[in-house]
A and B are shown apart, each in its own frame.
Chain A
């Protein structure tokens, strides 16, 4: 967890919050601080409790214990319509019975602003999200991306301390999703409102966030920058959930050595300092060096002669599936973006080189 900075720079502080249901605990004594103006993501598989957490922040669910503080004010007993928080819903929840302008103006009207002022602010906000002149349209006349922007505009026009986003990109198709990721990040950057974004899509979290909390079974596994999560995962769950990895079961024989289940001996980095016991090993495909000549990988801690099995060509994301010639251990290796080795043939022999620090072992 990042060190708590000055108190007034924290927009959201979750303090020891739990939520129990009869059969399970959705959120288990969670604490969390979100700095003012940052883009904070909560990343986790479905059922990890992230939606419950978000709905507690929004005020739709009351926590069983703990407190939620927004902009230095405890939210205990404060109804959702009185919180300085607005939410963008998973399916956007735009009001189909109202025009685009009325959707955006809804919150302002509730605050009792004059009609002209509401109209002025709504139109300004629509312009800001790139939808000038759409105020008179019906919701069903908008495209998916436009609806997205209206939903965000509808919340942002109220200038909340905190904007909560509940997987709002989930319903979009891939291309639009990629596009909206960048746009959302850009928008947050321009407006400066604190965003709390929940998602199960690690790519969304990594691309947009300043800070990401990886959540599993009601608890945070790790909170950090995207880079920290990617390069220095704190647990087997984070290593497995964030980014792609080769996952091997290993038996540690010393602090830096172990044997894979297949019998393959490996030099590795035990992340929690253990020197014995069963652990899981994660090796990212792009950290593995690949060459047709053994000499090229001589400098690596682990050198593996392998047989090419299948080539998966996917442009910049091309990979190759290989199998260790001696122990039969399968491995996924990224191909260099230069196009080198694009001509690999199944059955060909190649040599892999893996540094010990890139083979991260964790207790499971």
Chain B
């Protein structure tokens, strides 16, 4: 034991909750799932090590179609959420003041006090054939009969954007708040127009926040289960649903584990790609979250 030992011990104790959290709740389950994904059932209760689960994924078009579809939709949701959240974040961070601002923030957070399930059922009530919006459209004469607005891909997008908007808003508001107003004025003063200021000043400043928001939304959307299942129609396919199905209704934990690992790999890859393309660093973004 050296002189530094007591300090090391202190450091260890301080970090212990985080380390234990990572080890017990993140690392251990992943190792377990990883091992499971490398097994193959050869008989009742008998297993052998193999890559069959991963091969099945590539052999069966359904699985990787779902996989690609999920990734694409998640990217679309992320982009939509960014486009929608940006003006809102701007008005909260830069336009609203005092009480109005506090109320806007509360207004955004309020729906999230209800569970995701309740919020999705809310959409169900609004959009179903006999629901509020189709009836309204019918009554106003826009449609010849009440149209079913549920069970389309667009519906899933709406639901996903809605449920992930908050996670885009918060980092964006944080990022925009730290933007000194005088920078915008200066750019304006030097001859910049709105679009130009947005592109050259605001977006570069908010970039770490944008990246943080996009990572959060992308991850949450990719891993969302409830929304696609509830709002998605008979053609809706979501990769988490596949994982759930494999685990719960097929009792095929090995296949489910392989899918889970593929999803993990996909999300990591896409996040890495996104950061690379926009020249952001992961650490900067995480600091903004």
Chain A in direct contact with chain B (Cβ < 8 angstroms): yes
Residue numbers in A under 8 Å from B187 (CB-CB): 95, 106
Residue numbers in A under 8 Å from B28 (CB-CB): none
Residue numbers in B under 8 Å from A98 (CB-CB): 200
| CB-nearest residue of chain B to A58 | B189
Complex: A86 Cα to B191 Cα, angstroms: 9
| Cross-chain contact of B183 among A93, A111, A158 (Cβ < 8 A) | A93
Complex: A336 Cα to B81 Cα, angstroms: 73
Question: Are B191 and A90 interface neighbours, CB within 8 A?
Answer: no
Residues A110 and B189 in contact in the complex (CB < 8 Å), given A93-B182, A95-B201, A97-B201? no
Complex: A329 Cα to B286 Cα, angstroms: 66
Which chain A residues (68-102) contact chain B, with CB distance < 8 Å? 79-82, 85-87, 89-91, 93-98
Question: Are B204 and A91 interface neighbours, CB within 8 A?
Answer: no
Kindly provide the distance from the CB of B278 to the nearest chain A CB, expressed in whole angstroms: 13
The answer to the question of A323 belonging to the interface, with a C-beta cut-off of 8 Å to chain B, is no
| CB-nearest residue of chain A to B207 | A97
Question: Are A107 and B191 interface neighbours, CB within 8 A?
Answer: yes
Which chain B residues (164-202) contact chain A, with CB distance < 8 Å? 180, 182-183, 185-193, 196, 200-201
| Cross-chain contact of A158 among B188, B190, B205 (Cβ < 8 A) | B190
Complex: A89 Cα to B186 Cα, angstroms: 7
Kindly provide the distance from the CB of B18 to the nearest chain A CB, expressed in whole angstroms: 31
The answer to the question of A155 belonging to the interface, with a C-beta cut-off of 8 Å to chain B, is yes
Residues A106 and B190 in contact in the complex (CB < 8 Å), given A91-B180, A97-B204, A97-B205? yes
- Main secondary structure, interface of B, reads helix
Kindly provide the distance from the CB of B207 to the nearest chain A CB, expressed in whole angstroms: 8
Residue numbers in A under 8 Å from B180 (CB-CB): 91, 93
Question: Are A90 and B185 interface neighbours, CB within 8 A?
Answer: no
Residue numbers in B under 8 Å from A89 (CB-CB): 182, 185-186
Question: Are B182 and A106 interface neighbours, CB within 8 A?
Answer: no
Complex: A79 Cα to B183 Cα, angstroms: 17
Residue numbers in A under 8 Å from B183 (CB-CB): 93, 95
Complex: A79 Cα to B186 Cα, angstroms: 13
Question: Are A158 and B185 interface neighbours, CB within 8 A?
Answer: no
Question: Are A86 and B189 interface neighbours, CB within 8 A?
Answer: yes
Residues A87 and B201 in contact in the complex (CB < 8 Å), given A93-B180, A93-B183, A110-B196? no
Kindly provide the distance from the CB of A163 to the nearest chain B CB, expressed in whole angstroms: 11
Residue numbers in B under 8 Å from A19 (CB-CB): none
| CB-nearest residue of chain A to B184 | A93
Kindly provide the distance from the CB of B195 to the nearest chain A CB, expressed in whole angstroms: 11
| Cross-chain contact of B191 among A95, A96, A97, A111 (Cβ < 8 A) | A111
The answer to the question of A60 belonging to the interface, with a C-beta cut-off of 8 Å to chain B, is yes
Kindly provide the distance from the CB of A93 to the nearest chain B CB, expressed in whole angstroms: 4
Residues A87 and B200 in contact in the complex (CB < 8 Å), given A93-B180, A93-B183, A97-B205? no
The answer to the question of A154 belonging to the interface, with a C-beta cut-off of 8 Å to chain B, is yes
Residue numbers in A under 8 Å from B193 (CB-CB): 81, 110
Complex: A158 Cα to B186 Cα, angstroms: 13
Kindly provide the distance from the CB of A18 to the nearest chain B CB, expressed in whole angstroms: 22
Residue numbers in B under 8 Å from A58 (CB-CB): 189
29 contacts between A and B (CB under 8 A): A81-B188, A81-B191, A81-B192, A81-B193, A82-B191, A85-B189, A86-B190, A87-B189, A89-B185, A90-B182, A91-B180, A93-B182, A93-B183, A93-B186, A95-B183, A95-B186, A95-B187, A96-B205, A97-B201, A97-B204, A106-B190, A106-B192, A106-B200, A110-B192, A110-B196, A111-B191, A154-B190, A158-B190, A158-B191
Chain A residues with CB under 8 Å of chain B are 58-60, 79-82, 85-87, 89-91, 93-98, 106-107, 110-111, 154-155, 158
- Top 3 A-B pairs, shortest CB-CB distance: A93-B186, A107-B190, A110-B191
Other CB < 8 Å A-B pairs besides A93-B182, A97-B204, A106-B187, 4 of them?
A79-B188, A89-B185, A95-B201, A98-B200
